[in-house]
Amino acid sequence: MINATHLHTSYGDNTVLHDASFAVEAGTIAALIGSNGSGKTTTLHVLAGLATPDAGTATVNGVDVTTNRTAAQEHLAFLPQDVRFHEALTPRQVLRFYAGLRDAPPDRIDALLETVALIDAAEKPTGDLSGGMRQRLGIAIMEMAEAPVLLLDEPALSLDPEWRSFLMDRLRAHADDGAAVLLATHLLDVWTPIVDRVFHCEEGQIRKEDANPTPVPEDVRMASPS
C-alpha cells in the first residue's frame, strides 16, 4: 500500500532524507517515530505529494507519487500537524469545499460534523475555533476522502484524551477495513495501543523497524489514553 524506496531529499546543504526505505501493508497502522528534524514530516510530505524527493520512489496504493502526483492523491488522505483553514470559512463551508474536490456526496457533511461534534459550531468561522476543534474538522475531511491510505502528522498534539481515543478507534477501524495508516509522532507511548509497526527515523534514515510494540488492552487504553 505504502512503499518508500531509497528516498533522498535535501534543502541546500541540509540532507533531510537519506536513503529512507520502508513499506506499510494494507490493514496496518505504522508509526514513524523520531526526534524533531529527523525527517518524519518530510517523509509524509513526500508520500502526500507535497514535496518532491531528489531521488527514490514513493508509491501509494501502487501509484507513484513522484511521477503521477494527482492520480496518487486520489488514494490518500493527509492530516497535517498544524490544521488551519481560511479564517472566514465555516466548518460546513470547508467540508463542502473538500467534498467538492473529491466529488464526494455533500449529504455526508452533516453526518461528519455530528461525528466530530462540530454540528453546533458548523456556522462559526474557523478562525474562532480552538486548535482541537480545527483538528477535528481535519479528521472529518480525512474521513470524507474514504481513502485506502491515511497519512497523519502528529495527530495527537491538539486533541484531548477523549478525542485521541476517538481517533485511535477510527484509525483501527480503517485499518481493519484494509487501509494502510502511517502516522508521524515523537510520542510513541500515546500511539502504542494501536500501532502494528514502528519505524525509527534518525537523521533522515529508517534505522530500525519494530513489529508489534507492546499492545495495551483496550480497557486500559480507554481509561488512560495518554
Partner 1 sequence: MPLTKLPTSVYRAILRREATTTFHNRFVQIFAMIVIGGSIAVGALSGRPSAIPFGLLLLFLYVVPLFGLLIGVSAAHEEHDERAFLWSQPVPRSIYVLGKTATLVGALAVVLLTALVAAAVGGATPGTLALLWGLGVALVLVSVSGGVAIGQYTNGRARGLMMALTLWFGAFALYDALALALSSVEAMQNLPVVWVSLLLLNPVDAVRLTGLFGLENVPFSAPGEAAWMADLLTWLPAWTAVLTVAWTGLLLLLACRHLRRLDL
Q: How far apart are CA 24 and CA 32, in angstroms?
A: 11
Does the footprint of partner 1 cover residue 13 (CB under 8 A)?
no
Does the footprint of partner 1 cover residue 39 (CB under 8 A)?
no
Least distance (Å) between residue 88 CB and partner 1:
4
- Reading the block at residue 5, the C-alpha cell is 524506496
Least distance (Å) between residue 225 CB and partner 1:
25
Exposure letters 176-207 (e unless 16+ CB within 10 A, then b): eeebbbbbbbeeeebbebbbbbbbbbeebbbe
Task: Specify the residue, 27 or 125, whose C-beta has the smaller distance to partner 1.
Answer: 125
Exposure letters 51-75 (e unless 16+ CB within 10 A, then b): bebeebbbbbbebebbeeeeebbeb
Task: Tell me if 70 sits within 8 A of 101, measured CB to CB.
Answer: no
| Binding to partner 1 in span 52-71, by CB under 8 A | 52, 70-71
SS3 27: coil
Binding-residue total with partner 1 (CB under 8 A): 32
| Binding to partner 1 in span 135-174, by CB under 8 A | 138, 141
Does the footprint of partner 1 cover residue 118 (CB under 8 A)?
no
Least distance (Å) between residue 209 CB and partner 1:
25
Q: How far apart are CA 91 and CA 85, in angstroms?
A: 9
- Reading the block at residue 111, the C-alpha cell is 453526518
Least distance (Å) between residue 131 CB and partner 1:
13
Closest CA to 78 of 172, 150, 1, 185: 150
Does the footprint of partner 1 cover residue 45 (CB under 8 A)?
yes
| Binding to partner 1 in span 71-90, by CB under 8 A | 71, 73-74, 76-78, 80, 82-86, 88-89
Task: Specify the residue, 106 or 178, whose C-beta has the smaller distance to partner 1.
Answer: 106
Phi and psi (nearest 5°) for 138? -60, -40
Least distance (Å) between residue 217 CB and partner 1:
34
Give the binding site for partner 1 (CB under 8 A): 45, 48-52, 70-71, 73-74, 76-78, 80, 82-86, 88-89, 93, 96-103, 138, 141
